[in-house]
Amino acid sequence: WLSGTLATDPRSRRLAARAELVRGDARAALALTGASVAPEDLALRAEALVQLGDFAAARDAYIAAGLPEEAARLQTWDGDWAGVAPPGDPLAEAVAALDPEPGASLAADGSPADPGAKSPEGLPEEGPLARGERLLAESAEARAAIDALLSGSDTPKP
């Protein structure tokens, strides 16, 4: 019933896209914004992309819409910790260096993911005790970095 109006009136199309976003239908909102490069449409497209979980594309759309603050807000959602703080911020670098997932630095068999790791002939790359000690040390570093981040203090000492 709105097809004729939506095709000719950008304001009506944006209103319909906003309604679809409120209803939770991000795909319909994307279809309504089409390929328009109007800042209002780009902002709506970014909101739809956020609903769909495509944070990198949403950041690009927010930047194109002239909304860099909104784009910056999405950096942490997308896991872009390095881009959150200005370059050279030691606290941000310490937090960015943390593994995003526990054990992410391990291969599937539990050995270090570093292909250059060497061990004596016939021994596993890292035994269970060494792996436990390493994970404990990584955990302590992570807690110290998070505590420093939350308290606003200097970079934690390793």
User: What is the per-residue pLDDT across 41-76, written as a single tens digit (0 to 9) for each?
Assistant: 999 999 999 999 999 999 999 999 999 999 988 887
What does the H/E/C string look like for 11-32?
HHHHHHHHHHHHHCCHHHHHHH
pLDDT at residue number 86? 67
Look over the chain and give the mean of its residue pLDDT values, rounded to a whole number.
78
Contact criterion met (CB below 8 Å) for 24 and 51 = yes
In angstroms, what is the C-alpha Rg of the chain? 23
Higher pLDDT, 97 or 112: 97
- At 102 the pLDDT is 44
Closest CA to 42 of 56, 30, 55: 30
Averaged pLDDT for residues 98-125: 53
Positive or negative, the Cα torsion across 84, 90, 91, 93?
positive
State the pLDDT at residue 103.
Answer: 44
